[in-house]
Chain A
Amino acid sequence: MRWILMLILTGMAWVSSAQRLDRSMWMGVERNAADLSIHLGAVGSGLTTSFASALLTQDFLEREAIQVQRDKLRTINSAGFDYRADVLGVAQLKDGWAVTAGVTDVAHASTEFSDDAFRLLFEGNAAYRGLELDLSSSSFQYLRYQKFSVGLMRNNLNSSMGFRLSLINGQQWINANAERAKLSTSDWGDTLGLDLIGQWQQSGLDEGYFGAQNGAGVGLNLFLSHDWVTEEGTWRALIDVRDLGWIQWFPGSQEYQVDTVVTFYGVEVNDFEGNAVGAGLGDSLDRAFLGWRNTGVINTWTPSWIQCSVKQERDKGFEFGLGATWRPFTVVKTYGWMLAGYQFNQKWYAGSEIGYGGFGRMQVAIEGMFHTRSVSARLRWANMEGLIFSDRLGGMMITAGIQYQFGS
């Protein structure tokens, strides 16, 4: 329970931008290569970086900090977290063909929550006697899995394409959503009312250690790029599909479908004899939930990325680009962006980006890249606004990658 809460809060805490795929360095590489990349980012809207940081680094959250954060929330807020670590090898064959093999560790968390949910969690319901806290339209999804992939890639003069097929080990999965959830507390506090229509699905909640085998599936990554050479340089169009997949969670997975209205007045003790105090709202809810419990196999789609982009590539000078990212099977909105960068020489590049959508609103990122014949390195820092204006905005994302190329 504690780490679920941590995940929720972490996801909520960082509001971010640049919620898109970075171009993987292995795409179109023309030599043998070993590639390591890590992507870590949390994005969203409503919560500030300061609050999230305090939550993670301090021992105790002062009430004032909670109130400051509460006042910055919108009615419905969203947040998400993505983590990906990818180790990949590329071996060149003949005629532009290459094979790839890799291991990837992926985590995704996303949530939508109301400001009332925040109030309930961080303040309790005592201050809201006589009111109704609306927790509707809340959702939470968390998925962790590992992929073992092999793939094929082909490069020619102006285009390249490739795919990676994966076997997936499902480690852990939680999916919760509340279509309608309202908690009312009477004026005097002698009545609690809960109106709930919701769903909870889980697998591997009790055995969530790294690599735990709680599900299995298949996945697909693919890309297709094409270059157009013009007087202003080369324009590269890229379609990148990543983490498209399906997981079947093993028997023992649990699903709760709840449609209930519970009114709790306390324990009735009309005659003290034979009564024991100890039953409570929890018992009532347990009964409501257990009445709708199913266990067995559950199938899910993995949170995926589909991204289309166009970017200018030059040996030296300013470069521009734009693109859009769609996230199937998540609550993330479509993210669109524009970028501008400067290629200092063949080795160094620096760029910046502004975008809108995803979990947040307007977002800013910067990136830098170093490239030689043997080594490529890339560092990207997104959601700068969340770090700089940490008391007002929130979010942070870092992507780092390094690649070693060898052979002819």
Chain B
Amino acid sequence: MSLLFRTGIFNTFGLLPMERSMIQNIRALILVLVGFVSCNGPLDIASWEVEATSPLVYGRMNIADLLAVKEISSEGGVLQYRVQDTLVRLGVDTLIGIPDTTLVSEFMIPVGGVQWPAGVPFYSDTIRTTFNLDGAQLSFAEVRKALFSVSLKNNLKEQILVRYRILSATQNGDTFELEELVPGKSTFEGDFVLDGYNLDFRGLDGTRSNTLNAYVEAMIDPNFTGTYTFSAGESFEIQNTFKEIIPQYAQGYFGQQLTQYEDSVTIDLFKSLAFRSADILEYDVDITIDNGIGADLLFEIGGVSTYNSSSVVSLGHPILGEPQPIGRAIRTAGLASPVKHMQQHYSFTSSNSNLDELLEIRPNGIAYNMSLEINPLGDISLGNDFVRFGHDISASMDLTVPLKFGVEGLLLRDTFAMNVDTSDSEQIDRILGGVIRGKILNGYPFEATVQLLFLDSNGVVTDSLSDIRQTIQSAEANGFGMVINSVESEVVFPFDRDRVDAVLGATQAVVLARFDTYQSQIVELRDSYEIEFRFAADLNTTLP
């Protein structure tokens, strides 16, 4: 055979260097033979390069998703940022909080040998409980919820009968009454519900306020035969407590109360909405004072400002610093709405305020201070102030900013977790590089540039897939800033071997998008706008 090779007979087929080729082929056969006979030792075979294409991710998103702010809603198809918050609320419990109040009375026989017939009171008294209501003078209340606790301690040898009547508490014309047999040398304790009772706080003569009267009698059990002989030192004690009184309705004079409020409302919108400059044209803030009590009010907004980490901008508006009188609510005969509230609205618009300046600093919150005075002129109702449960004094704010603006350098970023299995390092090492391609159908009327960043578990950027931001073209808009056609763009992020480890080892990826409206033209964001995207990868890798 070697003679054949040497003579060049096979060279006519253009196969030389034949001997080398044949040796190589025979070597290959021997390799296979050894591989099988030795069983299972995997033969080392050559590797080769392949280019694989695979889809990566796809989906749709809109600005509302990206902002991840719950206050984004839609009104007439236009996205708007709306914050509704109650700044102040005063209810019946704050206006006339009735404290728990306890009275204790005791009767003791100073000398022994006194004989007393059964069934005849050996003790009777009127108990008067006066509540300290911090300036308020209540004359009447309907109880929504209240408890009356009583403790009857009988130190006599025989059982006694106690009659307890709260003269000031009536329900459908009946006075609250309690009869209880208390065995000798024992104590009775009980809680009784006063829900639904009317309480007359004027006392027995009708001239007092904040006062409840009760009448108590104690006697030897009428069923006891004969007479009872008291021993010296025998006693009887009564302890009563009114607690947890919540009126359904209260009437009287609520006093002259001045309260100052100073607080702030957080604005989340701008945490995820960063921009270099913005032109906000439309906004609307309503502050509403709602008086649901039968007392006059004097309301004053001392100041409103927005703030961020570096600056504060104050609001300008004619009502600031000017006390605003608000009339008292009116009782009505209607059961569905027994109180007619008095409301006062204060509107902050582009024509009467500089609120746009407050928003354009990308504030973290709104700070405010205000005061509220009840009965600024004193008891002009002659004790006929009233409050009904659920009808409060409140100050609320309704901030609405339609997302219509011109913006430059609006920066949105979102982070999503990555969980690529990199345990097979050999497989990772085979990746030589590739290209991630994105096809983006932009339905928003502004141009965007996007960048992908990859972060490690400490949040440190390990790599960026592209040093150059890729541009997404703006959708076509009409003269009113409304989109008439979405526009498709392609973005390309090539990466090489050096970037593979950094990218695949990342635990988070960040999409960084920068938006600009054309020459800061005012556009509106509608809920129908969205961005459709598809990403695919061309991977250059070796096998096996």
A residues neighboring B (CB under 8 Å):
1-3, 5-6, 9-10, 13-14, 40, 42, 49-50, 52-61, 63, 66, 81, 83, 85, 105, 107, 121-127, 129, 185, 188-192, 208-210, 264-273, 275-278, 280-281, 387-391, 396, 398
Contacts and interface: CB of A to CB of B under 8 A. Distances in A.
Interface stretch (B87-95, B103-111, B533-541): B533-541
Contacts of A121: 50, 543
B33 A40 contact: yes
B52 A55 contact: no
B87 to A, nearest CB: 31
Interface residues of B, number: 62
A2 B57 contact: no
Contact of B511 (A85, A272, A278, A390): A272
Contacts of A60: 46-48
A189 B55 contact: yes
A275 B27 contact: no
B530 to A, nearest CB: 10
Given A57-B31, A59-B46, A278-B421, A272 B538 contact: no
Q: Which are the 4 A-B pairs with shortest beta-carbon distances?
A: A124-B50, A210-B39, A266-B55, A126-B51
B61 A272 contact: yes
Contacts of A188: 437, 439, 534, 536
A277 B40 CA distance: 37
Given A40-B33, A270-B60, A281-B54, A57 B420 contact: no
Contacts of B37: 83, 85, 105
A345 to B, nearest CB: 23
Interface of B: 10, 13, 15, 21-22, 24-29, 31-33, 35-40, 42-43, 45-61, 65-66, 68, 414-421, 437, 439, 509, 511, 534-538, 541, 543-544
B53 A129 contact: yes
Contact of B65 (A272, A278, A389): A272
B544 A107 contact: no
**Which residue, of B24, B27, B38, B509, has the highest number of chain A Cβ atoms within 10 A?**
B24
A278 B535 CA distance: 14
Contact of B58 (A13, A52, A57, A190): A190
Given A6-B42, A189-B437, A266-B535, A53 B55 contact: no
Given A275-B416, A276-B417, A124 B52 contact: yes
B57 A267 contact: yes
A201 B219 CA distance: 99
7 contacts: A56-B27, A59-B46, A85-B37, A268-B59, A270-B61, A278-B421, A387-B25
A280 B25 contact: no
Contacts of B38: 210
A52 B31 CA distance: 12
A189 B435 CA distance: 12
Given A3-B42, A6-B42, A121-B50, 5 more contacts: A56-B43, A83-B36, A190-B535, A209-B40, A277-B57
Contacts of B57: 266-269, 277
B417 A3 contact: no
Nearest to A388: B10
Contacts of A85: 37
Given A85-B37, A129-B53, A209-B40, A275 B417 contact: yes
B53 A124 contact: yes
Contacts of A49: 25, 28
A268 to B, nearest CB: 5
A192 B415 CA distance: 27
Contact of B46 (A61, A271, A389): A61
A13 B43 CA distance: 14
Given A40-B29, A83-B36, A210-B39, A191 B55 contact: yes
A192 B54 contact: yes
B70 to A, nearest CB: 12
B21 A390 contact: yes
A389 B15 contact: yes
B500 to A, nearest CB: 15
A390 B18 CA distance: 9
A5 B544 contact: yes
B25 A277 contact: no
A210 B32 contact: no
Contacts of A129: 53
A338 B84 CA distance: 97
B538 A126 contact: yes
Residue with the greatest number of chain B CB neighbours at <10 A, chosen from A3, A60, A188, A266: A266
Contacts of B31: 56-57
B292 to A, nearest CB: 41
Q: Which of B45, B414, B538 has the largest count of A CB atoms less than 10 A from its CB? A: B45
B54 A61 contact: no
B53 A278 contact: no
A398 B37 CA distance: 14
A13 B419 CA distance: 39
Contacts of A6: 35, 42-43, 45, 544
Contacts of B48: 60-61, 63, 66, 122
A350 to B, nearest CB: 13
Given A85-B37, A270-B61, A276-B416, A192 B29 contact: no
A267 B509 CA distance: 15
B225 to A, nearest CB: 83
Contacts of B25: 49-50, 53, 387, 390, 396
A352 B437 CA distance: 59
B24 A277 contact: no
A293 B221 CA distance: 88
Contact of B39 (A61, A209, A264, A388): A209
A129 to B, nearest CB: 6
Contacts of B51: 123-124, 126-127
A270 B53 contact: no
B506 to A, nearest CB: 10
Contacts of B59: 268-271
Contact of B56 (A2, A277, A389, A390): A277
A152 B37 CA distance: 28
A73 B226 CA distance: 128
B15 A391 contact: yes
A125 B47 contact: no
